A and B are shown apart, each in its own frame.
Chain A
Amino acid sequence: MEHVVPALLQVLSPASIAAILIGTVFGTIVGALPGLGSVVAITVILPFTFGMPIVPSVALILAVYCSSIYGGSISAILINTPGTPQAAATNLDGYPMAMEGKASLALGWATAASVFGGVFSTGVLIVAAPQLAAVALKFGPVETFALIALALTCIAGVSRGSTLKGFAAGILGLFLATVGADPMTGDLRFEFGYFPLTAGVGLLPVLIGLFAISEVMVRVFRPHQATPQIVGTVGFKLAPLREWLIRWKSLVKGSVIGSFVGVLPGTGAAVAAFISYAEAKRAGRFRDKLGKGEPEGIVAAESANNAVSGGALVPTLALGIPGDAVTAIMMSALIIQGVQPGVRMFAENPDVIYAAFIVLILANLAIFTVGALGVRYFLYALRMPVPLLLSVVIVLSFLGAYGDRGNEFDLLVAFIAGVVGFFLRINGFPTAPVVIGLVLGRIFEESLRQGLILTDNSFQGFFVGHPIAVALFCVTFAILFLPPLIGSVRRWKGR
């Protein structure tokens, strides 16, 4: 604890506070623009940190990181376009709420749940970072495979109406993840001799196409379909406390899931949001309404994806292994500053670590302020004439699809994903499972194949000496098979 006071003094300097505020405003805006996302936001500000002292530069990067994850939910709610992949799960209930004219309330739910998740995970970090880092190392390929299998069950959760159609869409996503170079051997798969396909199908262009571009097409196709209703003066509105209290379980569960998934390298906020959403769909108080504009869905997704920001710092700082692309960039910024993240950092630079924790808390409070004061300006987007709004969405979408990897081919991918998304949607196929499959597909395959190498190609080997994996497999089976089983038992009893 003796490092907390000096760290606090450094964080409370005018330069650090300014960095947090500027970073939060900037991150929220970039996160809200479809397709730009956290990585772009951090890459843009990275050069500015080179000339800054270490604590303000860490403050700037962390503030941009947290707020860009939050910003993604704004466009997910308002224009059915998750600004970042992390916000794809927020879409599922956020957009229906906006359609009902409850956009301000939905934004209130998203903001407060984000802040709660962020602060919660920072608390966990402060108390248990070294221990959590040790747990992360226990997650070998077999454990990772079990975790991803669990995450995939949320395909069933988001496939309302027709589970079969949802599975088909999920398999499409998993298939798309196999296109390109084989992650293990480098052999090419499904590239049909066409060079641009060797890089695989990018997640961001597909996401943008499936959600944003197809949305525009659906709107043009059915011009009289409801558009978000604007009721009176809209702004930022928090639901009354009792509304929060009856959904507390999903809030806390989301925060725990997010903090934990964040600790595991190579998973990330999108995975956490989907696992938390699946859990809310399984055990939430309002599970039957989930997907139709129920705040519990927003709460589950947003608390989880923002809690990842704290969790992801554990392996980054304590092991030197970045949890996702954003922390990877942050790590290079630290290295350039002369601080070496890794096993020795807790001993050598404890002040930087504690300063990072304090910055995280302040950044989350800044999100709340920026959200409460600034979100109304985003709502002006909804008052734009519909044709203008749709054109802006198209332009932003293609910009975002190109900006991710600087690859012209991604523009084509986004367009095709848009057309495919359009046909999926008008035929009643959910599009979220495609994204879930694509997000999880690569790590699912990689961990399975690595696990099989280690166990000499024996599936039984996955259950021997891997208690964590076995526990995760049990939860997965319970989620998949308990509800139909209980249902048939009830029917049998009712006879």
Chain B
Amino acid sequence: MKKTIPALCGLFAALTLTLTGTSEVVAYPEKPVVIVVPYKAGGNSDRHTRLLQPALQDALGADIVVKNVAGAAGTVGAAQVAQAKPDGHMLAMMPIAPPTMQPHLRDLPYGIDSFEPVCMVDNNPVVLMVNKTSPYKSVQDLVSAAKANPGSLTYGTTGGGTVPHLAAIGFLEGADVSMKHVPFSNAADVMKAILGEVVTMFIGPASLVERFDVRPLAIFASEAVPMFADVPTAKSEGLDLVFSIWGGLFAPAGIPEETYQTLTAACAKAVADPRTTEAMAKIKSNADPRIGEDFKSFVLSQYELNGRLLGKADLQK
């Protein structure tokens, strides 16, 4: 009995604490914040999350735990965050596809309105690249070769309905040529096929150009990108095409306004932090911070644009 009474008192105290804790508006963040990366560790989204982690941790004043929830082209992790309690303690670091492309491609347990975009971190235009030893030294070379021998050239992608696929469809249509489509499951496999001369071209992330020492023929940006100043834009080659792969932080929809403001302010601080910018420069990733409403309208416009493009490519569900 002697031991029971203090134990009961302790239990009572704990109960009171929990009850009062839930009845008041609690300060955010009250515990570590989990950022779900919907891909395996080591990939692009994972890398950006981890390089943002130290600065965001300081700006938010809470520990950040990175959780990789991989599978089904990022939709498993995205669904997990969409269905999470919208209290700001579970966020997602997602690239373009899971929120703005996948919902057009198939039925998912989430949609574009399941998320509240917080801030954008990186935005990298895609680049048309060929093997360094290939005879194609310009977009014109490639187009005339494809016109001379229709169907003999090939292009690799990271799968059907991805940004590289859409960009290639746009390019082929604009140049009025045809090439065989060979899908691969990830960018590294496509690059191996480019280096091994299995496929002719790939329109993929600009950061790959230096890493694999391939020849860039055009960058799909509206104006020259400082990091790739010597690569002509697609526009200057006569094709007005803009495609890029971006990534940013999302919260589940229904997050309280106050928490959302805290989050966007912290993220704005974190993306401008020299630790973040230096780390991004190191991996040749183009920083493009868009905060709160700015990012929200960007995501919505991308969602609509990608829906149109996928519909045109006959890929929409």
- Which residues in A have some Cβ–Cβ distance to B below 8 Å? 39, 43, 46-47, 136-141, 180-181, 183-188, 193, 195-196, 198-200, 202, 265-266, 315, 319-322, 325, 328-329, 331-332, 335-336, 338, 340-344, 405-407, 442, 446, 450, 453-454
Contacts and interface: CB of A to CB of B under 8 A. Distances in A.
Interface stretch (B7-15, B120-128, B176-184): B176-184
A194 B271 CA distance: 38
Nearest to B44: A332
Interface in B164-211: 180-185, 188-189, 191-193, 195-196, 198, 210-211
Interface range on chain B (Cβ under 8 Å from partner): 35 or more
Interface stretch (B62-70, B85-93, B248-256): B62-70
Interface stretch (B103-111, B221-229, B237-245): B103-111
A335 B283 contact: yes
User: Which 6 pairs from chain A and chain B are nearest by CB?
Assistant: A199-B71, A137-B196, A329-B42, A199-B72, A185-B160, A140-B198
A196 B71 CA distance: 9
A133 B72 CA distance: 31
B138 interface: no
11 contacts: A141-B193, A141-B198, A183-B159, A186-B106, A188-B106, A199-B72, A266-B189, A319-B195, A332-B46, A405-B71, A454-B154
Chain B interface helix/strand/loop/mixed: mixed
B73 interface: yes
Contacts of B50: 47
B247 to A, nearest CB: 15
A185 B183 CA distance: 8
B75 interface: yes
A329 B180 CA distance: 32
A199 to B, nearest CB: 3
Nearest to B110: A195
Nearest to A322: B188
Contacts of B72: 180-181, 198-200
A321 B188 contact: yes
B79 interface: yes
Contacts of B160: 184-187
Nearest to A141: B198
A43 B70 CA distance: 14
A198 B76 contact: yes
B298 interface: no
A223 to B, nearest CB: 38
B161 to A, nearest CB: 5
Contacts of B2: none
B112 interface: no
A477 B198 CA distance: 26
A454 B210 contact: no
Contact of B212 (A325, A331, A343): A343
Given A141-B198, A198-B76, A325 B42 contact: yes
Given A195-B108, A329-B41, A320 B191 contact: yes
Contacts of A193: 107
Given A198-B76, A200-B72, A453-B182, A325 B196 contact: no
Contacts of A39: 40-41
Given A140-B193, A332-B47, A405 B68 contact: yes
Given A140-B196, A336-B283, A406 B67 contact: yes
Contacts of B154: 453-454
A149 B162 CA distance: 29
A186 B70 contact: no
Interface string B147-160: 00000001000011
B278 to A, nearest CB: 10
B294 interface: no
B51 interface: yes
A331 B43 CA distance: 10
A43 B41 contact: yes
Given A139-B196, A265-B192, A319-B212, A195 B282 contact: no
Contacts of A138: 196
Nearest to A337: B282
A342 B195 CA distance: 11
